[in-house]
Amino acid sequence: MQTFIASVFVFGILIFFHELGHFMVAKAVGIHVHEFSMGFGPRLWGFKRGDTVYNLRAFPLGGFVRMAGMDPNEDEEEPDYDEERGFNSKTVGQRAGVIAAGPIMNFVLAAVILALIFMTHGLPVPTTDVGMVLKDSPAYHAGIKEGDRITSINGVPVEKWTELNKLVNSNAGKPIQITVERGGVEKKIEVTPRLSKEGRYIIGIQNNPEKYVMEKMNPLTALWKGAEATVQVTVLIITFVGKMIVQQAPMDIGGPVRVVAEIGQAAEKGVYQVLQLAAFLSINLGLFNLFPIPALDGSRLVFLAWEKIVGKPIDPAKEGFIHMIGFGLLLLMIVFITYNDIISLIAPGK
């Protein structure tokens, strides 16, 4: 039950904010939106506000925003909207904005989730516990040992590794007096930092990754760090996908079954682990939707770019057929990935 609730929550916010991105920009540029729905299948509950119907449907496996003019089979003889409010009546730039807004909202959501984590739970910050002393380094020759905890430098108290690095580097190679705590006893050691290849002054120690404190951030710093982390994860994913394509990294693609399993494991560890996974999945969803694969937002953007270049749109029927083929291939891929996910869960390592 815990896994089910966590999965519905994670999938729900990812889909809701993705579709909300499409919806908000569509409304902003004056497109008539017939329906905003969460889920597929039979309608469970809903209401109408303005000219849009908001529905909750039976199967929580997706969602959609149905905009006027997007479906070539839509009845145009007696439309229930002004033609000027149809999707295809808008400029290429406006339509591209509507399409791109969904994936972009997923990146925004990831940054906001990470910011909330940084504000309320904090970011792990290494303490001044020494995890490793590099051989033949200034610290090694001065007698600093693994397990020591540095409490001050030149009489200035330090608690975080960043503070330690800043004080060491600021002394520009001059001898410094380091106070370490070893076995409950404080000891003063003089060390002369040396210039590294990166142009920083160091003493040759590394922090203990198992020793850290959670540092909470103010809202502005948290938002900045959340956006920064989102960009970093996006770059890492793109890099990994590129390596998979050129066979420099193993194929490691997970489907819904694997995602649910990961959510279940995160739920056992706590709410912050679920939120962190939700941010990561949101980045993946946004990035995946930007790939130029038929039926995804990325392919629609390609068609719009082509329209901008040649000055006229592709035949809606042909574009619809391409998207239909792409959707079928995506379904086959999902079935294949789901099968592999189930096999790996039943017989891990095979």
Q: Could you give the residue numbers annotated as active site?
A: 19
Decide if 87 contacts 32 (C-beta within 8 A): no
Decide if 138 contacts 196 (C-beta within 8 A): no
d(CA 122, CA 154): 29
- List, as one string, the DSSP characters of 88-148: GGS-HHHHHHHHHHHHHHHHHHHHHHHHHHHHHT-EEEEBSBEEEE-TTSHHHHHT--TT-
Three-state DSSP at 341 gives helix
277's tokens = 């996974």
d(CA 193, CA 149): 18
Strands 185-191 and 52-67: unpaired
- Which of 3, 82, 18, 88 shows the shortest CA–CA distance to 314? 88
- Which of 73, 89, 337, 291 shows the shortest CA–CA distance to 81? 89
- At which residue do the structure tokens 């066979």 appear? 247
Three-state DSSP at 219 gives helix
Decide if 206 contacts 126 (C-beta within 8 A): no
Decide if 315 contacts 323 (C-beta within 8 A): no
Decide if 192 contacts 140 (C-beta within 8 A): no
30's tokens = 């004056």
